[in-house]
Amino acid sequence: MNNTKWWQTAVIYQVYPRSFQDSDGDGIGDLRGMINRLDYLEQLGITAIWLSPVYKSPNDDNGYDISDYRDIMTEFGTMADMDELIEKAKLRNIRIIMDLVVNHTSDEHPWFIEARQGKDNPYRDYYIWRDPVNGGVPNSLRSSFSGSAWEFDEASGQYYLHLFSRRQPDLNWENPKVRQEVWDMMNFWLDKGVGGFRMDVIDLVGKIPDQEITGNGPKLHEYLQEMHRETFGKHDVLTVGETWGATPEVAKLYSNPDRKELSMVFQFEHIGLDQQEGKDKWDLKPLSVNELKQVLAKWQIELGNEGWNSLFWNNHDLPRIVSRWGDDGKYRVESAKMFAILLHLMKGTPYIYQGEEIGMTNYPIKDISEAQDIETVNMYHERLAQGYAKEDIIASINAKGRDNARTPMQWDATPNAGFTSGQPWLHVNPNYAEINVEANLADPDSVFHCYRKLIELRKNNPIVVWGEFELVEDVPEEVFMYFRRYKGETWLVTANFSPAPVTLEMPEIGLVSEFMIGNYARDAADFQQLQLQPYEAFVTKLA
């Protein structure tokens, strides 16, 4: 393909640094620990590492509240460690993608400390301040972490906006000085040789608070085009925006190469399918596999050549997919592999979240005292006050809470799963004795080796990167089946998205010439009348 970008053939691995690998026994993951695990990531075969924030932070939101964009969080190590990580990753042809959190800062950032000094401070309009209305909050904007998005500042008698925690004041992007500060900071990291940025809630930076507009504001794309011109446009880097409300039409605005904005976005339409209409993520409904098929197929087809898909099931904000939509009991390995095969054969750039590649699961809590995440804790107290039953709130937390993804990486069967020699900052899932990297590496049929083979398939077969996608419609609801076609070659991906066997008539599929990968043993012969096993998935090359 002409003008191929490296991130179109890439597979990205997300590290949540706090939970990846501790090297100094303080119970918190760190950069040295990551450096010590680069060989493992190289063995998996990934191309780049998306690092959740490692900057100085008071950790009100575990690093997504930044107090110094140009220094490293003390618990994670030093800037010298960061430079070493970038360098040693590069030696393995692995790029480091930084997490760019510029919708807001920490309230301990010097800019906010200045801004808070008074209305005349030169940094005041780095943030969004409003007078009370009728003696109260300026309007009904809500925080994602419960309650009003407005916090009263006694000293000045004004409110400031925070779409997340009250310790994460929103930056005022209408102020050109703020944008210049962001450009300068991004260029600082680009000059260090980072491979790009994941852009935290970047769809919010065009907000118009007085009209209660938060996502996709009128100046958003103007700002992104300015960012492109002033920073990464001169570099061959990956930029991926976190855009919760994006539709394919909106996604094209971000990722159409002619618009000179971003490489791609994380869209979350499939992620919201087990959430009641118009409600919060905590208000659950069963997943419809048909809806999932239609949504993912739509994204595969509608971006066309005007954008590029990111492909993910997991991240540090989401429950682990094998517990959420698979089976984390009897068919844990089979369903973990089914999710991997189904996603990694699609068109786009796959993202693997730490632990996904070994089939890690959610960690159910019994009491709110076991929860660490601010989003979860705030919701618990808000819903308790609203009269929700405690057991219902805990059930929602166990289904959708962010701590599920943040339990320490399970390296081996030694205490604390080999994550730390100290007291881990968050509970380790007790199933680490069985589910860990060491056991996966030793088992040629493990989830890890399934991911490693999928990454190899993508590297060695252009059809996986460039092939056209076509959903197969006339199959049972629980069967997710699609073609990929490229330069006369046709591959068929078949997945049973259920714990029950399914009988499938496939005579029209034609002869199978090669069995590429699957999570059950199966030879190329018997594809005319099939009984798919629980969560069975496989890929066949057709004659």
Q: Which residues are catalytic?
A: 200, 242
Q: Smallest gap, in angstroms, from Cβ of residue 201 to ligand TEU?
A: 5
Q: Smallest gap, in angstroms, from Cβ of residue 93 to ligand TEU?
A: 27
Q: Which residue has the tokens 């080999």?
A: 418
The strand pair at 48-51 and 512-518 is best described as unpaired
Q: Which residue has the tokens 């066997």?
A: 501
Q: Which residue has the tokens 């057709």?
A: 542
Q: Find the radius of gyration of the CA atoms of the chain.
A: 23
Size of the site for ligand TEU (CB under 6 A): 14
Which listed residue (109, 116, 166, 281) binds ligand TEU by CB under 6 A? Answer: 281
Residue nearest to ligand TEU (CB): 64
Give the closest residue to 364 by CA, choosing from 334, 318, 396: 396
Query: Which one, 75 or 334, has the nearer CB to ligand TEU?
Result: 75
Per CB under 6 A, contacts with ligand TEU among 144-163 are 144
173 contacts ligand TEU (rule: CB under 6 A)? no
Helix (H) or strand (E) holding 288: none
Q: Smallest gap, in angstroms, from Cβ of residue 165 to ligand TEU?
A: 8
Residue type, 482: Y
Residue type, 165: S
Contacts for 354 with CB less than 8 Å, ≥ 6 apart: 13, 14, 15, 16, 19, 20, 409
Per CB under 6 A, contacts with ligand TEU among 226-245 are 242, 244
Q: Smallest gap, in angstroms, from Cβ of residue 339 to ligand TEU?
A: 19
| Rounded Cα–Cα distance for residues 363 and 429 (Å) | 6
Query: Which one, 292 or 405, has the nearer CB to ligand TEU?
Result: 405
The 3-state secondary structure of 37-85 reads CHHHHHHHCCCEEEECCCEECCCCCCCCCCCEEEEECHHHCCHHHHHHH
Q: What is the three-class DSSP state of 172?
A: coil
493 and 476 in contact (C-beta within 8 Å)?
A: no
Q: Smallest gap, in angstroms, from Cβ of residue 517 to ligand TEU?
A: 31
Q: Smallest gap, in angstroms, from Cβ of residue 379 to ligand TEU?
A: 10
Q: Smallest gap, in angstroms, from Cβ of residue 318 to ligand TEU?
A: 6
Which listed residue (81, 107, 200, 269) binds ligand TEU by CB under 6 A? Answer: 200
530 contacts ligand TEU (rule: CB under 6 A)? no
Give the DSSP per-residue string, 250-275: HHHHHH-GGG-S-SEEE--TGGGGGB
406 contacts ligand TEU (rule: CB under 6 A)? no
Per CB under 6 A, contacts with ligand TEU among 34-93 are 61, 64
Question: Up-side HSE of residue 318: CA atoms within 13 Å toward CB?
Answer: 24
| Rounded Cα–Cα distance for residues 522 and 517 (Å) | 10
Query: Which one, 170 or 327, has the nearer CB to ligand TEU?
Result: 170
Query: Which one, 23 or 243, has the nearer CB to ligand TEU?
Result: 243
Query: Which one, 29 or 518, has the nearer CB to ligand TEU?
Result: 29
Query: Which one, 271 or 435, has the nearer CB to ligand TEU?
Result: 271
467 and 484 in contact (C-beta within 8 Å)?
A: yes
Could you give the string, one character per residue 439-468, with x where binding to ligand TEU holds by CB under 6 A and - elsewhere? Answer: ------------------------------
Per CB under 6 A, contacts with ligand TEU among 488-507 are none
Q: Smallest gap, in angstroms, from Cβ of residue 398 to ligand TEU?
A: 14
265 contacts ligand TEU (rule: CB under 6 A)? no
183 contacts ligand TEU (rule: CB under 6 A)? no
Could you give the string, one character per residue 316-335, with x where binding to ligand TEU holds by CB under 6 A and - elsewhere? Answer: xx------------------
| Rounded Cα–Cα distance for residues 148 and 313 (Å) | 30
403 contacts ligand TEU (rule: CB under 6 A)? no
| Rounded Cα–Cα distance for residues 207 and 363 (Å) | 36
Which listed residue (201, 340, 360, 365) binds ligand TEU by CB under 6 A? Answer: 201
Which listed residue (34, 86, 101, 338) binds ligand TEU by CB under 6 A? Answer: 101
179 contacts ligand TEU (rule: CB under 6 A)? no
What is the helix, strand, coil percentage profile of the chain, to 5? Answer: 35, 20, 45
124 contacts ligand TEU (rule: CB under 6 A)? no
313 contacts ligand TEU (rule: CB under 6 A)? no
Per CB under 6 A, contacts with ligand TEU among 331-390 are 375
- Packing angle of the helix pair 220-230, 248-255 (nearest 10 deg): 30
Q: Smallest gap, in angstroms, from Cβ of residue 213 to ligand TEU?
A: 16
Helix (H) or strand (E) holding 468: strand 468-471
15 contacts ligand TEU (rule: CB under 6 A)? no
| Rounded Cα–Cα distance for residues 351 and 97 (Å) | 12
The site for ligand TEU (CB under 6 A) is made up of 61, 64, 101, 144, 164, 200-201, 242, 244, 281, 316-317, 375, 402
